[in-house]
Amino acid sequence: MSDLIAKLNKALKPKGTSGPQGTFRHENEAEILDAAKKLLAKSHFGRELLTYADTKKLEMHVLRNKKDFGYLPENSAIYISCPAGQSMPPARAVIHLAGAIRKAYQEVDGSIPTPSVQVGRERFSRQLVEKSTDSSLYQTIVVYELVQNTGLLEILDEFDRMGYRSLYEAYALKQAEPEGKKEE
């Protein structure tokens, strides 16, 4: 408990890592993205996402922030975020990167575009849920494959922190079923 309070007090002290203006980018952007991409490449679906990002020349950036971001069509860029002065474990970054690339795919490919409010409330809500479900599914598959391929259990803790543990468990259960039943 005292260790936790010591860590907390250290985190509350100013670090001098951020400037008032100039850039919103994280000071460790290159390292965070490099580690996340290397890890993503260890998953089959992750490699597909990376290939897609390369093909479409999607920029990738890490913002100094505590909120999650996504895809911005104006500059074909993917944004993930990490608070200033903190490192972002690859196990966390890879989940956000996978989700953001998939969100880019939804828009660029036009498979699940951002709905307009003019389509009506019901369809608008349905499309929003569909977008969210689709990117969460890809994140779940990447997490599952990384656990299977690398034994990286830390990524499960990160997924749990995001509130998605049940998605992983449901997907893992489905994968454990015999082939015939899986396709039902």
| Contact residues for another protein, defined by CB under 8 A | 1, 4-5, 7-9, 11-18, 20-25, 61, 63-75, 77, 79, 82-87, 114, 128, 131, 161, 163
CB of 92 to another protein, least distance (A): 10
Using the minimum distance from each CB to another protein, give the nearer residue, 79 or 138.
79
Using the minimum distance from each CB to another protein, give the nearer residue, 23 or 150.
23
H/E stretch holding 80 reads strand 77-82
CB of 114 to another protein, least distance (A): 5
CB of 150 to another protein, least distance (A): 22
Using the minimum distance from each CB to another protein, give the nearer residue, 43 or 131.
131
CB of 65 to another protein, least distance (A): 6
> Scanning the structure block, which residue is given the tokens 């990117």?
135
Q: Distance between CA atoms of 177 and 169, rounded to whole angstroms?
A: 13
Q: Taking the alpha carbons of 94, 95, 100, 106 in that order, is the dihedral positive or negative?
A: positive
Distance (Å) of CA 169 to CA 39, 58, 92: 21, 31, 18
CB of 161 to another protein, least distance (A): 7
Report the side by side order of strands in the sheet with 77-82.
59-64, 77-82, 71-72
Using the minimum distance from each CB to another protein, give the nearer residue, 73 or 120.
73
Using the minimum distance from each CB to another protein, give the nearer residue, 58 or 145.
58
Distance (Å) of CA 138 to CA 6, 86, 142: 37, 26, 6
